[in-house]
Amino acid sequence: MLEILIKSAVLIGGIMTAAAYFVLLERRMAAWVQDRIGPSRVGAPLSLLGLKDLRLWGLGQPAADGLKMIMKEEYTPSHVDRRLYVVAPIVILAAAIATYAVIPFGSLLPPMEIGGEKVGPIQLTVAPGVDVGIIYVFALSSIAVYGVILGGWASNNKYSFLGGLRSSAQLIAYELPLGLGILGVVLASGSLNLERIMAAQAAQGWYAILQPLGFVVFVVAAFAEAARLPFDLPECEQELIGGYHTEYAGMKLLLFLVAEFLHMITASFLIVILFLGGWHFPLITGEADATIISWPVALARLLVLHGKIFLVIVFFMWVRWSWPRFRFDQLMNLAWKIMLPLGIVNFVAVAVLEEIRHSYGPDESTWAWSLGIIAASWVVFAAAWLLTSVANPLVTDNRPRRDLAPLEVDSPL
Amino acid sequence: MPTVTVDGIEVELGADERLNGIQAARRAGVEIPHYCWHAGLSVVASCRMCLVECGKKDPATGKVAMQPRVVPACQTPAAPDTVFITASDKVKNARAMVEEDLLLRHPIDCPICDKAGECSLQDYHFEHGREERRADIQPFTSRRRELGETVTLFVDRCVMCTRCVRFTREVSGTSELMVINRGAHEEIDVFRNEDGEIRFPLDNKLSGNVVDLCPVGALGDKDFLYRQRVWFMKSHDNVCAGCSTGCSIKVEENQDRIHRLKPRENPHINGWWMCDEGRYGWKHVHDPARLTQLRRRETGKLVSADWHTLPAQLENKLRAAGRLGAVLSPHLTVEEAYLLAMYIRVLDPEAVLAVGPIPTSGEDEHFRGGFTIRAEKCPNRRGVEAIVSRVGGSLLTWDDFLAQVEAGSIGGAWITGGYPSAWHDAADAEKFASVKTLVVQDVFASPLWDRADFQLPGATFAEREGSYVNATDRLQSFKWAIRPPAGVKTEGQLYWQLLGRPGLYRASEVLAEIAREIVYFAPAAQGVPEVGVDLKVTQLAASAELVASAGG
Amino acid sequence: MKADDPNIKWIEEPKLGLAGKMYLPLVAQGLTTTWKHLSKSLRGETVTVSYPDEEPKIGNPLIYRGVHRLNKDEAGRVKCVACFLCATACPAHCIDIIADESPWSDREKYPQSFTIDELRCIYCGMCEEACPVDAIELTSLYNLTGRSREEMIFDKEKLLSVYDATKEQEPMQSPALGGTAT
């Protein structure tokens, strides 16, 4: 029990702090991409003690941001549905945090002695060994959309409402490719348990290499699920002011914003765990199936996992400034006409290749077989990608038909 | 019907109309540029800007025989079957050459010239001049010479159109200006002695008109000099309140501050001119001594009041005062006088109405050009008298009213002023001792104002809206040109509010009502054109009506 | 507006080639562009500067649009002839001039008072463009501060003193600074 409480505390404290500093990183990255300096001033306010302020490259910024949000007036507009308005941010944040119960934030800690008692080996998951890990993550991340819809609905504001509607449509659309992307991983690893999936990748190879098509589908869908650019339609400033959180201010707004960041961090965790080998890195992270590992290996695994997650988050932020936002019809086309078929192709291809390996392959995997499987999956990837590109379903002509007589068409223009 | 052809457009002439080329072309919608010609002055054809091609159409064959040279349109009578061509290359070239000649030695100081923006030389140069200047830009500034108290001459800006010289000879009849020297050295000047000192300055009572006449910036009005650029000002049609001639004028203001008055063409009243007294007679509008505080007396002490609660307070006090009397100032518009009379009559159907004092000074002055400055220094005596005699039943004067007040028969009096200078003395004010409620509406402090129970700051002529009837029974309507100073409510708006009428004061509505009610004003029923309407036609009927009502 | 309205000009989108349809080259292109900027900024070559610690670089002070100044002529008198052209050109209506006859024999008109509301000004430089005698100019002084609104309404004396303060660094129309004076 104590162990779980400590792990929860470490995890929640860790991701909350991380979220705060990722906000700073996001702002600095935004500045750098735009040839600016970015927030670089808030450090230690030693001038309160009569000394010179320390700037510390702006590392005090998250504290200042948080303080600002807390000190702000907690304004509740008169036209909102009060109960749902208050519940919405709590729902979204609770769902976002609860997801981390089954997500491993490391591998193992070797046995150790604490106060004369022998403890361990400790699994670095709050609730280790959950066999339906992925399904649990899915279920909870779907609940997050409730927070968004509740917020948009309770605000009683057309922009919020539109934001909520967009969000629900978008999340439902992208759950499918997300699920199909995972299906291949589950099929290959033979488990829904996230720790076992990481271990399987250590043995078989990273699924990003083995199932490139599934990887791409999953990454795109994860961006959409996290509502990050170029998929941030639920809260696009240019169209909807603030989307579903237009009417929120102060602490409640802070909860929404933190939850959004947690979604991104969750997505990064899943990308790393499911496709980028989790804690695995060739040569330095030890035996995949070992139940007891040494301290250096444990540390190496921890560092590798979090290093990968950090890089994926940086990629998220980098992408943000590289693409403009999709139009809603493009968003839907991408989901239903590209990502869903590609996901199905990936699923079928993985199933066939796994079957071939099981039925015809040697018991001990050989280099030739592994390379053959990888080559086959890349061929499938290239062929499927080429086919979708030529079919070109992303381009829609939504201009009014001009060949119709003017009487017949009541043009939306 | 005789016709004239201008650029292919046929213009019909009246039976005995005598037009020149410029006027005929204007009727065809063609503007011929000109400097020296002015409809109110004689023709000299000296500037040569209006050169056009001219010919004669044979009415029998329809053949046109053109004259080989260009002729000045101002000097060419538009006789029947004359043909004018104003847009040929020949004419354009002639205009360009004239422009170039005029600008040869014209200083390029438009940025500091007060005429810039309304200068014919500028406008015509843009329209008809050459694209490039071939001469040196020389001189850069203009010599300046005083001509009198009101006008200054910028010698080098002059284009020698001699409009000003002809004006002093033909309209004011004083001939102070002349042309000195010859050829390229021609200049305008007044008569001087050997030392160059002015013997006869330009000081006639119409002298300001030469500034308006000047098509360029040569003549400057010292009162307006350097005060404002013309493009900042907005022009409002108005009527001069200086005397009972009631000249049609334009009030030019910027941000509710009058900068100058200019005459507006009205063939029935003032032609193209106005007198200096009227021209500079707007200074009291912006006098710092103007009254702007609304006050009422409460238990002997003056306290400030506000316009919203005023109507109820006024009504209480006036109803309690007994017999009421109102003095309608000849500075009120017809509409204002009528509304005040109605209001007083609502409170007391037996109320006494009287006309305010009529300020006079000297004799009527007639000028050679037909212009008249009247001795009666108020704009609307006839209009107010008509209201007083028709609504009040009899025509009481200020002295009659004072007599009644002194006799103690008036309990509540409403006095309207609006005179630019003092109009009663302390002795007159003493006579109001027996009046219980005294309402005074005026623009400057006076003995009566100090005695008043209600001190209502009033408006001046440029702030009013309504109509004046001048000495020749011509009624002219106008709208307000500037807003009154903060704290002041115009008489019309106040009376409108006192009568409980909805919305803003609408003078035209009131005038239509007056025209229905009072025969004298009947010609104004169909609306009032820019030049006004003549009320004389109904004078006979009105006097007959008066006689009848007096007899009955 | 109907779809067949003749006023609508329909523009065909350019067709994408196969590489474009593959989308990946475009993805790489986008990421490369942002990466270039990102790495440049990380090397410290940002456009913005850390202001109070570091002064911004002003390229050509003659075309910089900072605080106004009223130039003086050789005799030390204000060059302005009070023609109101700057006030006319000013889109923010921040220039207020009261003109009068000049006290000097060689000049007709001069500004008795000349005030610019520096808070209302949008620093567009139209006054400088409009001036026929090069009397008003915008200097490169950008750090304009004040403690009250009144303080930021610059009168003639203050504008002339700005000239005195900047005439060394920014001579009127100096060819060294890209001006046209000879």
Q: pLDDT category, B545, cuts 50, 70, 90? A: low
Between CA B442 and CA B287 the distance in angstroms is: 13
Report yes or no: A313 and A22 within 8 Å, Cβ to Cβ: yes
Report yes or no: A358 and A187 within 8 Å, Cβ to Cβ: no
What domain range is C30 assigned to?
A: 16-47
Neighbour tally for B185: CB within 10 Å: 7
Asked whether residue C88 is assigned to any structural domain, the reply reads yes
One domain for residues C75 and C24? no
**Do strands B533-534 and B474-478 pair parallel, antiparallel, or not at all (unpaired)?**
antiparallel
Mutate to test the interface with C, among A35, A213, A215, A319 (most CBs of C within 10 A): A35
Hey, are the CB atoms on C106 and B232 less than 8 Å from each other?
no
Mutate to test the interface with B, among C73, C79, C81, C84 (most CBs of B within 10 A): C84
List of chain B residues whose C-beta atoms are within 8 Å of the C-beta of residue C99: 226-227
Asked whether residue C10 is assigned to any structural domain, the reply reads no
CA A155, A158, A163, A165 torsion-angle sign? positive
Token representation of residue A397: 């002509």
Element of type H or E holding A301 = helix A295-320
Residue spans in chain B of domains classed CATH 3.30.70.20: 104-286
Token representation of residue B82: 């004359």
DSSP state, residue A234: G
Q: What is the pLDDT of residue B552?
A: 44
One domain for residues C85 and C27? no
Report yes or no: A85 and A244 within 8 Å, Cβ to Cβ: no
Per-residue pLDDT of chain A (413 residues; tens, 9 = 90+): 777 888 888 888 888 888 888 888 988 899 999 988 888 888 777 777 777 777 777 888 888 888 888 888 888 888 888 888 888 888 888 988 888 888 888 777 777 777 777 777 777 777 777 788 888 888 888 888 888 888 888 888 888 888 888 888 888 888 888 888 888 888 888 888 888 888 888 877 888 888 888 898 999 999 888 888 788 877 777 788 877 888 888 888 888 888 888 888 889 988 998 898 888 887 777 776 777 777 778 888 888 888 999 999 999 899 888 888 888 888 888 888 888 888 899 889 888 888 888 888 776 767 777 788 888 888 988 898 888 887 766 666 666 666 655 555 555 54
Mutate to test the interface with C, among A389, A390, A392 (most CBs of C within 10 A): A389
One domain for residues C111 and C146? yes
Residue B239's beta-bridge partner residues?
A: B248
List of chain A residues whose C-beta atoms are within 8 Å of the C-beta of residue C33: 322
Omega before residue B139 within 30° of 0, cis: yes
One domain for residues C156 and C95? yes
What is the longest distance spanned by two Cα atoms in chain B? Answer: 93
Interface of C with B in 61-100 (CB under 8 A): 81-85, 88, 99-100
The domain tally of chain C equals 2
DSSP state, residue B376: B
Q: Do chains A and C touch (3 or more CB pairs under 8 A)?
A: yes
Q: In what order do the strands lie in the sheet with B295-298?
A: B301-304, B295-298, B454-457, B437-442, B412-416, B324-328, B352-355
What are the Cα distances from residue B214, in Å, to B149, B154, B158, B217, C97?
17, 11, 9, 7, 26
List chains adjacent to chain A, taking adjacency as at least 3 C-beta pairs closer than 8 Å. Answer: C
> Regarding the domain delimited by B295-507, which CATH topology (the fold level of the hierarchy) does it fall under?
Rossmann fold (3.40.50)
One domain for residues C25 and C99? no
Between CA A201 and CA C5 the distance in angstroms is: 61
3-state secondary structure of C32: helix
> Regarding the domain delimited by B104-286, which CATH topology (the fold level of the hierarchy) does it fall under?
Alpha-Beta Plaits (3.30.70)
Contacts (Cβ under 8 Å, ≥6 apart) of C9? none
Token representation of residue B258: 């009058």
Between CA A147 and CA A98 the distance in angstroms is: 14
Q: Nearest chain A residue to C49 by CA: give it.
A: A37
Q: What is the pLDDT of residue A394?
A: 67
Between CA B152 and CA B148 the distance in angstroms is: 7
C84: nearest CB among B109, B144, B229: B229
One domain for residues C36 and C97? no
Hey, are the CB atoms on A400 and C3 less than 8 Å from each other?
yes
Written as one string, the DSSP assignment of B239-308 is E--SSTT--EEEEEEETTEEEEEEE--BTTTTBT---HHHHTTTGGGG-TT-----EEEETTEEEE--TT
Query: Measured between CA atoms, how close is C83 to chain B, in angstroms?
Result: 5
Residue spans in chain B of domains classed CATH 3.10.20.740: 3-95
**Do strands B466-469 and B454-457 pair parallel, antiparallel, or not at all (unpaired)?**
unpaired
List of chain A residues whose C-beta atoms are within 8 Å of the C-beta of residue C41: 31-33, 35-37
Residue matched to tokens 């399904």: A135
Token representation of residue A303: 């560092």
Q: What is the pLDDT of residue A196?
A: 82
E-strand ranges in chain C read 68-70, 95-101, 109-117, 136-138, 153-154
Between CA B4 and CA A77 the distance in angstroms is: 77
Q: Nearest chain C residue to B222 by CA: give it.
A: C101
Report, in this order, helix, strand and coil percent for chain B, each rounded to 5.
30, 20, 45
Omega before residue A121 within 30° of 0, cis: yes
Residue matched to tokens 């009666």: B376
Between CA A166 and CA A200 the distance in angstroms is: 37
List of chain A residues whose C-beta atoms are within 8 Å of the C-beta of residue C2: 406, 409, 411, 413
Between CA A411 and CA B348 the distance in angstroms is: 69
Per-residue pLDDT of chain C (182 residues; tens, 9 = 90+): 666 678 888 787 777 777 777 778 888 888 999 999 989 888 888 888 888 888 888 877 778 888 999 988 888 889 899 999 999 999 999 999 999 988 988 888 899 999 999 999 999 999 998 988 888 989 888 888 889 999 999 999 999 999 988 887 777 765 655 555 54
3-state secondary structure of B193: coil
Q: Among the residues of B321-425, which ranges form H helices? A: 334-347, 381-392, 398-406
One domain for residues C108 and C160? yes
Return mean pLDDT, chain B: 91
List of chain A residues whose C-beta atoms are within 8 Å of the C-beta of residue C46: 31-32, 35-37
Query: Measured between CA atoms, how close is A407 to chain C, in angstroms?
Result: 10
Query: Measured between CA atoms, how close is B420 to chain C, in angstroms?
Result: 27
3-state secondary structure of B453: coil
One domain for residues C124 and C164? yes
**Which tens digit of pLDDT belongs to each residue from B480-500?**
999 999 999 999 999 999 999
Hey, are the CB atoms on A33 and C46 less than 8 Å from each other?
no
C23: nearest CB among A389, A402, A413: A389
Query: Measured between CA atoms, how close is A175 to chain C, in angstroms?
Result: 23
Q: Nearest chain C residue to B110 by CA: give it.
A: C83
One domain for residues C35 and C103? no
Q: What is the pLDDT of residue A367?
A: 77
Q: Nearest chain C residue to A407 by CA: give it.
A: C2
Between CA B160 and CA B179 the distance in angstroms is: 8
Element of type H or E holding B83 = strand B82-85
**Which tens digit of pLDDT belongs to each residue from B175-193?**
999 999 998 899 999 999 9
One domain for residues C133 and C93? yes
Report yes or no: A346 and A217 within 8 Å, Cβ to Cβ: yes
Q: Which amino acid is at B11?
A: V
Q: Which amino acid is at B364?
A: D
Q: What is the CATH number of domain B3-95?
A: 3.10.20.740
Number of CB pairs < 8 Å for A and C? 75
Q: What is the pLDDT of residue C182?
A: 44
Q: Is B304 exposed, middle or buried (0-12, 13-18, 19+ CB in 10 A)?
A: exposed
With 90 as the cut, is the pLDDT of residue B153 above it? yes
C46: nearest CB among A35, A395, A406: A35
**Which tens digit of pLDDT belongs to each residue from B195-248?**
889 999 999 999 999 999 999 999 999 999 999 999 999 999 999 999 999 999
**Which tens digit of pLDDT belongs to each residue from B285-337?**
999 999 999 999 988 899 999 999 999 999 999 999 889 999 999 999 999 99
Report yes or no: A348 and A404 within 8 Å, Cβ to Cβ: no
Closest CA to A151 of A169, A139, A138, A163: A163
Q: Which amino acid is at A412?
A: P
List of chain A residues whose C-beta atoms are within 8 Å of the C-beta of residue C13: 395
CB burial of B23-58 (b: ≥16 within 10 Å; e: otherwise) equals: bbbebbebebbbbbbbebbeebbbbbbbbbbbbebe
One domain for residues C162 and C111? yes
List of chain A residues whose C-beta atoms are within 8 Å of the C-beta of residue C25: none
List of chain C residues whose C-beta atoms are within 8 Å of the C-beta of residue B232: 84, 88
Mutate to test the interface with C, among B108, B109, B112, B114 (most CBs of C within 10 A): B112
With 90 as the cut, is the pLDDT of residue B132 above it? no
Between CA C77 and CA A392 the distance in angstroms is: 74
What are the Cα distances from residue C90, in Å, to A341, B109, B335, C117?
62, 21, 42, 11
Report yes or no: B104 and B137 within 8 Å, Cβ to Cβ: no
Residue matched to tokens 């000649």: B101
List of chain A residues whose C-beta atoms are within 8 Å of the C-beta of residue C30: 322-323
Asked whether residue C119 is assigned to any structural domain, the reply reads yes
**Which tens digit of pLDDT belongs to each residue from B346-378?**
999 999 999 999 999 989 999 988 899 999 999
**Which tens digit of pLDDT belongs to each residue from A342-354?**
889 988 988 888 8
Report yes or no: B391 and B342 within 8 Å, Cβ to Cβ: yes
C-alpha angle B243/B249/B253, rounded to 5°? 115
List chains adjacent to chain C, taking adjacency as at least 3 C-beta pairs closer than 8 Å. Answer: A, B
* Contact A411/C at CB under 8 A: yes
- First vs last C-alpha separation in chain A: 64
Q: What is the pLDDT of residue B329?
A: 95
One domain for residues C135 and C106? yes
Closest CA to B202 of B164, B244, B250: B164
Hey, are the CB atoms on B111 and C106 less than 8 Å from each other?
no
Closest CA to B247 of B478, B524, B460, B38: B478
Q: Nearest chain A residue to C1 by CA: give it.
A: A413
Q: Nearest chain B residue to C130 by CA: give it.
A: B111
Between CA A320 and CA A30 the distance in angstroms is: 9
